[in-house]
Amino acid sequence: MPINQQILLDNRPQGEAVASNFKLVSAETPALADGQVLVRHHYLSLDPYMRGRMNESKSYAASQPLGEVMIGGTVGEVVESRNAKYAVGDKVVGMGGWQEYSVVDANAPGALRKVDTTHVPLSHYLGAVGMPGVTAWYGLVKIIAPKEGDTVVVSAATGAVGSAFAALAKARGCRVVGIAGGADKCKYATEELGFDACIDYKVHGDVKAMAKALKEACPNGIDGYFENVGGWIMDAVMLRMNAFSRIALCGMIAGYDGAPLPMANPALMLINRMKVEGFIVSEHMEVWPDALKELGTLVGTGKLRPRETIAQGIAAAPEAFLGLLKGKNFGKQLVKLV
C-alpha cells in the first residue's frame, strides 16, 4: 500500500491562524476491508469554513480534532476497490481531507459520489459544480428567492461561491452586483462572470464610502444579499436594503479569528422587515441533485467560467489556506496532488 502524506491540525490558533498550527506527516495506508475503496486524491479543496473548525468554540460543525487529518473536500480516482459499486478508474468526489490518499467505506451514505468528467473538469466538482456552487444555489433560490428584475448583491464576489451566484442570478433575470477586493477581481467579475457592477472594497474602504458606491450600483436598492464576510461591509449593504429584502447568511469570514463582529445598525432589520437566514448547505442534501444539474449545465454551456488558483503539492496546503483567508486567491482555491 502507498505511503500517504497528510497534514494534521497540530495546535489551535491563538487569534490569526499561522502555518505552525499544521503538521506534515507520512503514514502507511492501511489494507482495505470489504466494502472499502482506496482513493488517490487529485485535488484538495480549501474553503473559509475550515478556519472556524480550527477553533474549539461552539459552532455549527464539530471542531477539527487535534492530531488528526484536516477535514476537506477532495476529488480523485479509485485506485483499489473492494466494493462492487466502485471500479478502479472511477472518478469520485468525497471528504478525503488534507492527504494524498483516503480509505473510504463506500457503502456509507454520502461518503463518495461518482462524477462524469466528459463536459465538466474534475476540479470543478470542488467548486462551481460542488459544495460552493450548491451553497450559492441554496442561498439564492431558497432564501433570497428573487423575482425577475430584483437587484441582488454578493460579497467575496469572485470566489467559488460568488461566481456561481452571479451565473445563477443572471439566469433568473436579476441585476447582480458584486463586492470584491482589487481592480483585477472587479474587472473579472464584470467582464467574465457577468456581474452588472462590482465594487472594490479596497477603494471604498469604510461604511460611508461603500454605502455610497452601492447607491450608485443599485439605484433601485437591494432586494437580496448573499453574505460571506460580515463586519463593516454588511453594515454598508444593510443601509441600502429595501423593505422586505432577504439576506442569506453564509459566512462571516471577518470574524473567523475570534474577534467579535458588532453590528452598527440592527434596527434596519426591523425597519425594513428583513428576512435574515443563516444556513449550512450540508443540512439540505435534498436540493443537491437539482442544484448540481443546473450548475453542471451552466459550466458545460460556458455560461459559468469559474477561475481557479492552484497550489502544487500537499505541503503547500497550509500557506495556500492562509492566503485564502486574506483574499490572495483568485476564484476557487485548490491544491493539486497528482
Domains by residue range for the chain, with CATH: 3-127+306-336 (3.90.180.10), 131-282 (3.40.50.720)
Residue 254 is predicted with a pLDDT of 82
- Convert the pLDDT of each residue in 237-250 to its tens digit: 999 999 999 999 99
Q: Which long-range contacts (CB under 8 A, 24 or more apart) does 295-301 make?
A: 295/128, 295/129, 295/133, 295/134, 295/137, 295/164, 295/168, 296/119, 296/120, 296/129, 298/128, 298/164, 298/167, 298/168, 298/171, 299/119, 299/120, 299/124, 299/128, 299/129, 300/119, 300/120
Average pLDDT over residues 247-258: 86
Residue 57, pLDDT above cutoff 80: no
User: Please, what's the b/e burial string for 83-101 (b: 16 or more CB within 10 A of its CB; e: otherwise)?
Assistant: beebeeebbbbbbbbbbbb
Confidence of residue 259 (pLDDT cuts 50, 70, 90): confident
Distance CA 235, CA 167 (A): 25
Query: What is the spatial distance between Cα 55 and Cα 64, in angstroms, rounded to a whole number?
Result: 8
Res 162: pLDDT: 96
Q: Which helix (H) or strand (E) holds 297?
A: helix 288-300
pLDDT at 65: 94
Please report the pLDDT score of residue 310 as a whole number. 98
pLDDT digit string (tens) for 3-42?
A: 999 999 999 999 899 999 999 999 999 999 999 999 999 9
> Mean per-residue pLDDT for 181-187?
96
Query: Is residue 219 classed exposed, middle or buried when 0-12, 13-18 and 19+ CB atoms within 10 A define those classes?
Result: exposed
Q: How high is the mean pLDDT of the chain?
A: 95
| DSSP β-ladder status, 175-180 and 197-200 | parallel
Whole-Å CA distances, 176 to 149, 230, 252, 259, 304: 10, 19, 21, 30, 14
What's residue 61's pLDDT?
A: 72
pLDDT at 256 over 90: no
Question: The C-alpha cell of 129 is what?
Answer: 459544480
Query: What's the whole-number mean pLDDT along residues 185-205?
Result: 97
Spatial CB neighbours of 307, under 8 Å, sequence gap ≥ 6: 158, 163, 188, 192, 330, 331, 332
When pLDDT is cut at 50, 70 and 90, the band that residue 62 belongs to is confident
pLDDT, tens digit (0-9, with 9 covering 90-100), for 104-136: 999 999 899 999 999 899 999 999 999 999 999
State percent of the chain over pLDDT 70: 99
Please give the Cα distance from 217 to 197 (Å, whole number). 6
Most confident of 59-63, 219-223, 302-306, 325-329: 219-223
Instruction: Give the pLDDT score at 56.
Output: 87
The cell numbers describing 303, all together, are 455560461
**CB of 45 closer than 8 Å to CB of 106:** no
Q: Decide if pLDDT at 59 tops 90.
A: no
What is the mean pLDDT of the segment spanning 310-329? 96
- The mean pLDDT value for 162-190 works out to 97
> Do 49 and 251 contact (CB within 8 A), yes or no?
yes
Residue 260 has pLDDT above 80, yes or no: yes
Neighbours of 299 (CB within 10 A): 23
- Whether 58 has a pLDDT exceeding 80, the answer reads no
Looking from the CA of 90 toward its CB, the CA atoms found within 13 Å total: 20
